Every structure is written in C-alpha cells, then in structure tokens.
A and B are shown apart, each in its own frame.
Chain A
Amino acid sequence: MSPEMRDALVQLTYLVAGVFFIFSLKWMNSPQTARRAVWAGVWAMVLGIGGTLANPEVAVSSLPWIAVAVMVGGLIGVPLSKVPLTAVPQRTALSHAFGGLAAGLVGTAKYYLWLQEGGENLTTFRMFAISAEVILGFLTFTGSLMAAGKLQEILPGRPITFRGQLIVNFLILGGAIACAAGLMINPQWSFLFPVLVILSLLFGMMLIIPIGGADMPTVIALLNSYAGLSAVAMGFVLDNTLLIIAGALDGSSGLILSIVMCKAMNRSFTNVLFGAFGSVQDSVGEDSGKTVKSASPAEAAEIMEQADTVVIVPGYGMAVAQAQHRVRELYDQLTKRGIKVKFAIHPVAGRMPGHMNVLLAEADIPYDDLIEMEEINPEMPQVDVVLVLGANDVVNPAAKNNPKSPIHGMPIIEADRAKTVLAVKRSMKPGFAGIDNELYTMDKTLMVFGDAKAVVGDMAKALVGESGMH
C-alpha cells in the first residue's frame, strides 16, 4: 500500500469514528436508545485507536509498550467503574483529572520533541495550540483533583477564601498567558515552558479552592468542557480531525450542562467561579424563634396513606444517607394502595447533573415517575402531600419571596404550594448554602427528624404493618 493510500485510509477511519461519536451522543436523547449510545462510542474509540496504530509514524517496536500502558489504565479503570452511585460525582471529577493530565502530557511531549528537532515545526499557530492544550489540560488536572477531593471529603467542602484571592488568581493566569505569548514569539525560550506548566497546575488548584459543595454540579460540568477543549487544542497541534471532532462534542456537552446548572441556580458563570457561595449570609436569624411542628415516621406514613397524590423531592441528603432503596419500599407501599407517587427532580439536586435520576433508577423506580421541576410545579396546588427528602435550598420559598436571600431568583420546586409538606431532616441546621428555610416553619409543614434512610424505612414499615393487620 502506498503511503498516500494508507494516509487516506487512516483519515477515512477517523471520519467514520467521528460520525459514530456523534451518533453516540444523539442516542442519549432517550433512555430507550441510550444503551446503543455506549456501543457507538466504543466502536468509535476502537476505530480511532485502530486507525492511529495503522499510522506509519507509530513505530512497531513501541507497540508492546503501548499495550502495557493500555493495560495499566484498564486495571485502574475497571474498579473505578464499580464505585457506588453516590460516589459518581467524585469518580467523574477524577476522570476529568486523568483526561486533563493526558492532554497536558502530550502537549509537553510534543513541545520538547519539536524543540529538540530544531524547532522549525514550532510555528506560531502550533505554539498557540500547544499552550492552549497545556494550560487547559493541566488546570483541568489539578482543578478536577481538588473537586474530587472536596466531593470525597478528603478536602474541606466549604469554600476557602482569602483576601486578594481574585488578584492572585488573575496574576497566576496572566503569568501563564504571558509565558504562552513569549513562547509564541520565540519557541526557543524553552525556560518559559516549565513555568507555563507550573502556573497552569497552580491555577487549576486556586480556581477550585473557593468553590463550595453546592456549586460542584456546575464546576464538574465546566471541567468537562475544559477537558474537551484541551482535546481540541491537541487536535490542532497534531493536525488530527478526530481529536477536534470528539473534543468539540465533549466541550459543547460540558458547556450546555454548565449553562443548565447555572440557570437552575439563577447564577452566572463568573458568579459560580468567583462568588464563593455560602460564605455570605445577609438574613441570618430573621425568622428564628418560629416554632416547628414535628411528627414521627409512623404519623407521617398515616398522612401519606390518606393522600391521593404524593410527590417526593429528593436531594443530596438522600444520597448521603443511601436512602434510595428504602424510598423504593415506601414507593411500593404507597402505589400498592393506589396512591400516585411522583418524584420532583430539581436540576441541581445532588452533586452533579442528573445525580438524583441515577440513584432512583438504581432503586428500580421507573423513570416515567421522575418528573422535571418545570413539569411538576403547575401541578403542585393539587398535590396532597410533598415529602422533602434531604433537599433544602431547592424547595426554599425564600428564592421567590425574599429579595434579600442569597438564593433569590433561583427556580425552586414549589413544595410550599402543596396541601401538606413533610420534611425529613437530621436537625434544624440550615442546608449547604447556610440559608434559613421558611418552608419548615409553615403551618402546613411537619418535620420528621432523623436519618433519611432510617426515617423512610420506618415509614415503609408502618405501612407494611398496617396492611398486615387488615
């Protein structure tokens, strides 16, 4: 086969792989076709890797080493795919870190390779692409590690802020960009390259330090986007269309998810990245002194039993308590009695986009009963009982009523409009954002105190016991 022929075949393989990647994402539009999406993705990856190995530039002597590296990665990857679903946010963050690291390392290797060959390949445009790849790759690496650490609670989840933080961050980023500019002017100034790498690593860390747990969904989505963009930059460095296509798909996915998250919190990107949510609290204690009414799990079960419709609002608290299987028992008991049970899912409930859906699907709750916020809100006045389960800020009426509240303007699940509200909570401590919730002091609200898993288990048991007596 002539070299041109071989090159053309490699490019065609990349084209097919690119098309498969697009189909893979397209099939994610509904749960019925989603399983196919994974296979399309796997085939695209196989074609991409196969096409690359067929490239004459890849030395045959290096193939065993490549195989070993793939195997090492696979050995780490398999256990990472078996984490409990509550740990999926930190797993995702960790994966972004690996992706960023790979991109950063390839960019670094390419720079030194071309430098050592004399540097004529290091055109201004390529140097720009390498710099973008290295900055995005390494900042995604450390940023995602920090995010994973916070989610796994190895690092403190509370935002860490200090005086002049913004200035320091801009200086670091500015320094990295200055290094990149210097290298674009003269790629031979190789002393700038390690500085570029170190500043990028540092910037990733500094970017995540001031971000609190409640903002993690947005940040994870944003890091997803950066990982994609670093793949795009790598595509420009290596003149590789497949990298550009797949990276662009990934980048736009992360972008859309972060926009969805930002809208669901009524905040801007800059506000998420630089706002340090939860560190300010204007209206502390304004309503304190109001009494709350509480009920036992058995009493709460009785109230639900009288209802025609029950809407459950799950939140991160349900995930922490691993309560989803108990929720399934409660769901079974209620539906058995002909009571309509639905789940109201807020876009930012949990620690990553769609987190609640996955946890409830794991507990075998049919996805037809997982309803989005916009759809459930108009039905709320007709709902007999709302059971708030480990959610807090996403049902806080202050978002609508109190212009002074830090979450004012955020769209919420309007639990306060239902006829009765049952709220399961460990204690009266405010939620992650540290904001009082007037829902708990409303006349129609009953608090059920305790661990979500135990409380919901007791509710289900109370219902089982009763049906046994009849």
Chain B
Amino acid sequence: MTPLLAAAQPSGLAAYIPLIFVFVLATFIGLDVIRNVSRLLHTPLMSLTNAISAVVIVGAILVAGYEGTSDQPWWINVLGLVAIAAASVNIVSGFLITNRMLKMFKSREPEKKS
C-alpha cells in the first residue's frame, strides 16, 4: 500500500507527515470528547473503547489475507488469523457488555416527576 498523498513520492519521514497530522488532530478530538464523558459512565466508556480499539482487526485482516510470493511462510497468515480472533473477542464482547450496562442506567421513575 502506498502512503496517503503518495503522488510526489517523498521518502522517509516526509511521507508520513499527513498521517502524523491525522494522529495529532485525532488525539485532540479524543481528549476533548472524553473530557466531556459523564463520570457516571466511565466503566461503559472503557468497555466501549475496548471494542473500538479492536479496530486492529483491520490490520489483522490485511495480514491474514495477504498473498505474497509463493515462498511466503504459511505461519505469517496464521498470525493474522489469530489476531483476527483476538480482536473479534473484543468487538463482540465489548459492544455487547457496553450495551448491557447502559441499559441499566435509568433516570428516576416518571411518577415522581408528575
């Protein structure tokens, strides 16, 4: 895969400057968004970010599905498959348990408001 904005084909670190931009800006967004998360929800937040960080499955799929030269050792793809399984655990359990916990958070019964 070629780096983003590869048209000019810069070499070394310069090729990665756009990605570093993405990283820095995403971190700022992250810090700001997370700072506003209710403290009430810090446990579900953690299981949610758990599921989100399982986005590494993207990399795992790229490795597991990579067909290189014929002398490529088979175990490289196997490493990718194990990584897919590990990430899937987090995707499935992370989203399910977050949803389960969030369902429990209820406001005071409406009859008290009336």
Contacts and interface: CB of A to CB of B under 8 A. Distances in A.
A253 interface: yes
Interface in B67-93: 67-69, 71-73, 76-77, 79-93
Nearest to A217: B42
Given A22-B33, A235-B19, A59 B67 contact: yes
A354 interface: yes
A355 B30 contact: no
Contacts of B26: 18, 244-245, 248-249
Interface in B41-62: 41-62
Contact of A239 (B19, B44, B71): B19
- Size bracket of the A interface: 35 or more
Given A251-B30, A366-B109, 8 more contacts: A38-B99, A41-B52, A48-B55, A73-B85, A73-B88, A74-B92, A125-B12, A240-B62
B33 A25 contact: yes
A254 interface: yes
A105 B13 contact: no
Given A25-B48, A99-B56, A63 B65 contact: yes
A257 B85 contact: no
Interface of B: 1-4, 11-13, 15-16, 19, 22-23, 26-27, 29-31, 33-69, 71-73, 76-77, 79-109
A218 interface: no
A70 B84 contact: yes
Contact of A224 (B40, B49, B92): B49
B21 to A, nearest CB: 10
B77 A95 contact: no
A192 interface: no
B80 to A, nearest CB: 6
A145 interface: no
A253 B40 contact: no
Contacts of B98: 37-38, 41
Nearest to B102: A34
A33 B49 CA distance: 16
B62 A92 contact: no
Interface string A71-112: 111101110111101001001100110110111011011101
B31 A252 contact: yes
Interface in A194-209: none
B43 A354 contact: yes
B89 A58 contact: no
Nearest to A373: B39
A102 B86 CA distance: 6
Interface string A7-49: 0000100000010011011101111001101100110110011
Given A58-B62, A354-B43, A358-B43, A30 B38 contact: yes
Contacts of B19: 235-236, 239, 241, 244
A456 B103 CA distance: 26
A93 to B, nearest CB: 10
A88 B86 contact: no
Given A28-B44, A354-B45, A241 B22 contact: yes
A357 B42 contact: yes
B95 A109 contact: no
A102 B43 contact: no
Given A113-B76, A248-B23, A106 B67 contact: no
A48 B54 CA distance: 11
Nearest to A29: B36
15 contacts: A29-B33, A37-B48, A41-B95, A72-B85, A78-B92, A88-B101, A91-B93, A95-B47, A101-B86, A102-B86, A116-B73, A125-B16, A246-B52, A357-B42, A372-B39
Interface string A325-337: 0000000000000
A254 B49 contact: yes
Interface stretch (A226-234, A306-314, A381-389): A226-234
Contacts of A160: none
A253 B84 CA distance: 23
Contacts of B87: 73, 98-99, 102
Contacts of B55: 21, 45, 48, 231, 242-243, 246-247
A38 B48 contact: yes
A179 to B, nearest CB: 19
A237 B63 CA distance: 12
Contacts of A178: none
B27 A101 contact: no
Contacts of A53: 61
A369 interface: yes
A282 interface: no
A65 B93 contact: no
Contacts of A265: none
B46 A257 contact: yes
A28 B23 CA distance: 22
Interface string A404-436: 000000000000000000000000000000000
Contacts of B64: 62, 65-66, 69
A73 B30 CA distance: 28
A377 interface: no
